[in-house]
Amino acid sequence: MQTHAYPTPYAARLAARSGVLDAPTANVAPGYVQANLAILPRDLAYDFLLFCQRNPKPCPLVGVSEVGDPMLPLLGHDLDIRTDVPRYRVWEKGKLVAEVTDVSQYWRDDLVTFAIGCSFSFEEAMLAAGLPVRHIEQCCNVPMYRTSIATTPAGRFSGPLVMSMRPLSPKDAIRAAQVTARFPSVHGGPMHIGDPSLVGIKDIGKPDYGDPVEIRPGEIPVFWACGVTPQSVIAASMPDFCITHAPGYMLLTDIPNSDLAIC
Amino acid sequence: MQTHAYPTPYAARLAARSGVLDAPTANVAPGYVQANLAILPRDLAYDFLLFCQRNPKPCPLVGVSEVGDPMLPLLGHDLDIRTDVPRYRVWEKGKLVAEVTDVSQYWRDDLVTFAIGCSFSFEEAMLAAGLPVRHIEQCCNVPMYRTSIATTPAGRFSGPLVMSMRPLSPKDAIRAAQVTARFPSVHGGPMHIGDPSLVGIKDIGKPDYGDPVEIRPGEIPVFWACGVTPQSVIAASMPDFCITHAPGYMLLTDIPNSDLAIC
């Protein structure tokens, strides 16, 4: 499902708040950082913050809230995390208990919001550099794979690294490695290139998440650390309570993608 | 005081452990990351970790220990933080109570070690690029200044950003901005260039820390976020208990500087 673009991320957040925007957010606010969402109780927040510090490629934090405060002024004007994401998932003991467009009724004074960078930002940089992004061409979700590479554990959080894959010609793969490396806060450069079996992927045609995409003759698969990693790691730790975004329905921030380029 | 180079960072750590190495660590283990040290009780660790996340330019974390564990396997082989730094400072309620070469007697089960990247790494990259580093030429400490730029507060930690300064010709300043940007985990690219008064520095000849250096005709001052920022921020919050390294006597890690280059 494709939605039209809003003039600003704030306009899109207000549309989400009022219930008008209830759709995946690709291209909803072009040029601005979108983020994966993990809302956890304070007693898990230190372990999760440390997990993100130790695994900056899959878990690049773009913002962390104050304890219990639903507002995120560092990420956007008037941003209320209880209402401004188009769709949420509410989890109890690792089980999905609700998928809703507003989590005000679930809010607690001990919750901490973690916003984690998303590949939409570096895909925009790839497209701007004239590089093809196959799943965008094919209008499907990016293929994602659980790999044999372990994340660095922190407290109650551990698990395998998930990688997303984009097929490219060798020449484009080199350029994509350069272009995306400039954006460490949205996963940065690739983690693997070529033979999928070297990172424990048995069948490139059967992703663990998302959709398979065509790999054309002469192309090689290029793998990036994926924002699904923190979600799968949180799910595996089965916290008593947790809120995430629904896949594809991201948090829209006021941060321009171009601000993330470090060089 | 200048010391000779050891063949490996581990050899240098063993020398510090035995008391043979009790000197500033510039050039003690060339090619490897050296780190600023902050050891804090667990009840302050979440706020400090969040402070570092919100202020990655002055506080680029290269490693965080487990609670109470003096070993830091992510940073070095057999690295015991109680003995392996050449000299420590022990603080109580913001006051310096001891300067020692071993903190075993002060160790507690609730302590968390934070290792923060240091400009030695990017200065090595500057020298390798043929750029001059004035305070190295002049055999003195780098000049550092408290600025009018505020850090982003987190819990009990807040305060002004401290910047270090290196004078360069305009051409070299441009190249230095490019070369150092590749190393975000050791402060990254400059934060300011040119007129010191724009960041609240009244007299460039009178640094707040370190030594003044010569600015030659045609040169401009170039300012980087400085690892003294976290130390000054911790000092201002006056925690009941805290251990840091003595200035210049850094933690020597096994991480090659070249590993930090993100592109």
A154 plus A224 within the same structural domain:
yes
B113 plus B23 within the same structural domain:
yes
Q: Which domain holds residue B180?
A: 120-230
**Distance of alpha carbon A50 from alpha carbon B114, whole angstroms:** 11
Q: Give residues 57 to 86 of B whose Cβ lies within 8 Å of A.
A: 61, 64, 74
Chain A neighbors of B52, CB-CB under 8 A: 53
Chain A neighbors of B50, CB-CB under 8 A: 49, 64
> Does residue B164 belong to any structural domain of this protein?
yes
The whole-angstrom distance between B89's CA and the closest CA on chain A is 25
Q: Which residue of A has its CA nearest to B116?
A: A53
Average pLDDT for chain B: 94
> Does residue B1 belong to any structural domain of this protein?
no
CATH number of the domain within which B197 lies: 3.30.2040.10
Q: Tens digit of pLDDT for each residue in B148-187?
A: 999 999 999 999 999 999 999 999 999 999 999 999 989 9
B113 plus B205 within the same structural domain:
no
Q: Please tell me if residue B262 touches chain A, with a CB cutoff of 8 Å.
A: yes
Structure confidence at residue A3 (pLDDT) = 62
**Distance of alpha carbon B61 from alpha carbon B30, whole angstroms:** 20
Structure confidence at residue A92 (pLDDT) = 94
**Distance of alpha carbon B6 from alpha carbon B10, whole angstroms:** 9
Q: Please tell me if residue B181 touches chain A, with a CB cutoff of 8 Å.
A: yes
Joined together, the tokens standing for residue A36 give: 């994966």
A75 plus A102 within the same structural domain:
yes
A49 plus A112 within the same structural domain:
yes
B26 has a pLDDT exceeding 90: no
> Does residue A94 belong to any structural domain of this protein?
yes
> Does residue A99 belong to any structural domain of this protein?
yes
Q: Tens digit of pLDDT for each residue in B226-250?
A: 999 998 899 888 899 999 999 889 9
* A23, A134, A173, A221, B186 from A169: Cα distances, Å: 32, 12, 6, 9, 34
The whole-angstrom distance between B40's CA and the closest CA on chain A is 14
B203 plus B214 within the same structural domain:
yes
> Does residue A2 belong to any structural domain of this protein?
no
Q: Give residues 184 to 213 of B whose Cβ lies within 8 Å of A.
A: 184, 188-189
CATH number of the domain within which B84 lies: 3.40.1640.10
A223 plus A99 within the same structural domain:
no
What angle do helix axes B42-54 and B228-237 make, rounded to 10 degrees? 140
Average pLDDT for chain A: 94
Question: Rounded to a whole number, what is the distance in angstroms from the first to the last CA of chain B?
Answer: 35
Q: Tens digit of pLDDT for each residue in B58-96?
A: 999 999 999 999 999 999 999 999 999 999 999 999 899
B21 has a pLDDT exceeding 50: yes
B125 plus B82 within the same structural domain:
no
What's the structural domain count of chain A?
A: 2
B101 plus B156 within the same structural domain:
no
Structure confidence at residue B22 (pLDDT) = 93
Q: Which residue of A has its CA nearest to B183?
A: A262
Structure confidence at residue A1 (pLDDT) = 45
Q: What average pLDDT does the segment B108-126 reach? A: 94
A211 plus A256 within the same structural domain:
no
**Which of B123, B182, B150, B155 minimizes the C-alpha distance to B47?**
B155
B111 plus B17 within the same structural domain:
yes
Q: What average pLDDT does the segment B100-127 reach? A: 95
Low-confidence ranges of chain A (pLDDT < 50): 1
Contact B262 A189 (CB under 8 A): yes
**Residue A187, amino acid:** H
* % of chain B exceeding 70 in pLDDT: 99
> Which of the residues B43, B50, B179, B224 would you substitute to probe the A interface, choosing the one with the greatest number of A C-beta atoms within 10 Å?
B50
Three-class SS of chain A = CCCCCCCCHHHHHHHHHHCCCCCCCCCCCCCEEEEEEEEEEHHHHHHHHHHHHHCCCCCCEEEECCCCCCECCCCCCCCECCCCCCCEEEEECCEEEEEECCCHHHCCCCEEEEEEECCHHHHHHHHHCCCCCHHHHCCCCCCEEEEEEECCCECCECCEEEEEEEEECHHHHHHHHHHHHCCHHHCCCCCEECCHHHHCCCCCCCCCECCCCCCCCCCEEEEEECCHHHHHHHHHHCCCEEEEECCCCCEEEEEEHHHHCCC
Structure confidence at residue B1 (pLDDT) = 45
* % of chain B exceeding 90 in pLDDT: 87
Structure confidence at residue B27 (pLDDT) = 85
> Does residue B2 belong to any structural domain of this protein?
no
A51 plus A130 within the same structural domain:
no
> Does residue A136 belong to any structural domain of this protein?
yes
> Does residue A33 belong to any structural domain of this protein?
yes
